[in-house]
Amino acid sequence: MAAPLPTPDSEALAHSQQLVQLIQNEIEKAGGWIDFAHYMHLALYSPGLGYYSAGSRKFGGAGDFVTAPEISSLFGQTLARQVAQVLQQTQGNILELGAGSGKLCAQLLLELQQLEALPQQYFILEVSAYLREVQQQALQHMLPTDLTARVQWLDELPPTFRGLVLANEVLDALPVHIIKTREQELQELGVTCSSGTFGWQARQVSSGKLQKRALELNLPPDFQTELNLAAPALVSSLSAMLQHGVILLIDYGFPRHEYYHAQRSAGTLMCHYRHYAHSDPFLYPGLQDITAHVEFTAVAEAGVANSLNLLGFSSQAQFLINCGITQLLQRYSPSEMMAYAAVAAQAQKLLSPTEMGELFKVIALGRDYANPLIGFRQGDKRHKL
């Protein structure tokens, strides 16, 4: 039997109820039903109320989940080797999408300084005003003034860009549609509301982009899954901006043949609340994260369709090994047992197949970039997309 989730305090519950009312109003305006992508967008991004827009702690031990930069500075230090290669070839800058707590930005800039490969500017595109404030405070604490001066926050993508575009655990938070095959009918699961309580309701999908994408997948019968139309759209926008450089996307997910495998018939939708993972997206709206795994084949196809080159695809473990994480571990002396044991345990979480090593993937798309990327020199699995 699963352990019960922690109960929010009265202030958090009141906050959640405000968001419930907002979503309920949206459902009523739409005639009593909205698709799940709309619900997910409201739950995560409604100004001042959505999960990523409000002020609760999200990352780290006191939050709801832990990302790789929160686990260990080794992540950013290792990634910096790949970043440095791209910056050297492009003479460009860094653009990070959704910078979370700001730790990855700090890790990269400190390590790039050591490598004598600093960019002139480190841009952060952050849609959450709250997280932007968190990042600004964190970087002021973690970085010297000369490095914080290189960081600039953006409200939208720049019209043109050269260098490295980086997104760590961004694609999984993009709103998804939920579809289900039932006998000979394709259905979309949407959200209704009765007396302040949300529930599922299916509607037939008979036309449009969602139907076209679903039919192309040739899904098994009695199969429920997610379709992320926002991820290919984001890749298209990044392609329109990128003049010369690399887009590096890191997230958990699968190639298409694994994502839509018959054994994954309930989909991948998952919610995270205070380090508990569960499957109810209607619980505590605004207080929990809602995610879906990434279907990387669609990401690659969107890149190629927008004249980008597919430069690499691998597990996070293989990528970090290629970039030299084991060499970086040598900075820590085994004679200092406590410190070495701690960093070795962190590396294990990043690399182990039972932790983040295999579930998390790295995909690279590029324009006018011919040199092989060091992160994919061994174990490149582009052929499996």
The 10s digit of each residue's pLDDT in 6-56 is 888 899 899 999 999 999 999 999 999 999 999 999 999 999 999 988 766
pLDDT at 331: 85
Distance CA 204, CA 187 (A): 4
Listed in sequence order, the residues at least 6 apart from 245 whose beta carbon sits closer than 8 Å to its beta carbon are 86, 90, 92, 161, 162, 163, 164, 165, 366, 367, 368, 369
Percent of the chain with pLDDT over 90: 82
Distance CA 140, CA 372 (A): 35
Q: What pLDDT, in 10s, does the model give residues 220-233? A: 889 999 999 999 99
CA atoms within 13 A on the CB side of 41: 14
Whether domain 33-173+232-258+294-377 has CATH 3.30.565.10: no
309: which 2 tokens? 């080159």
Distance CA 296, CA 385 (A): 7
Distance CA 255, CA 264 (A): 13
Residue found under tokens 């409201």: 42
Average pLDDT rounded to a whole number, residues 325-329: 93
Handedness of CA 109, 112, 118, 119 (dihedral sign): negative
Helix ranges, 242-323 (H): 256-259, 296-305, 316-322
Average pLDDT, the chain: 93
DSSP of 210-256, one letter per residue?
HHHHHHHHTPPSSEEEEE-SHHHHHHHHHHHHEEEEEEEEEEEEE-H
The helix/strand/coil state of 181 is: strand
Average pLDDT rounded to a whole number, residues 292-313: 98
Q: What pLDDT, in 10s, does the model give residues 158-205? A: 999 999 999 999 999 999 999 999 877 899 999 999 988 999 999 999
pLDDT at 195: 87
Q: From residue 343, give the alpha-carbon distance in Å to each of 75, 214, 280, 328, 336.
A: 11, 44, 35, 10, 11
**Local confidence band at 311 (pLDDT 50, 70, 90 cut-offs):** very high
Nearest to 149 by CA among 116, 109, 117, 115: 109
Percent of the chain with pLDDT over 70: 96
Q: Evaluate if residue 337 carries a pLDDT over 80.
A: no
DSSP of 329-366, one letter per residue?
HTTS-TTSHHHHHHHHHHHHHHH-TTTTTTTEEEEEEE
Domains of the chain, residue spans = 33-173+232-258+294-377
Q: How many CB atoms lie within 10 A of CB 326?
A: 12
92: which 2 tokens? 């460009």
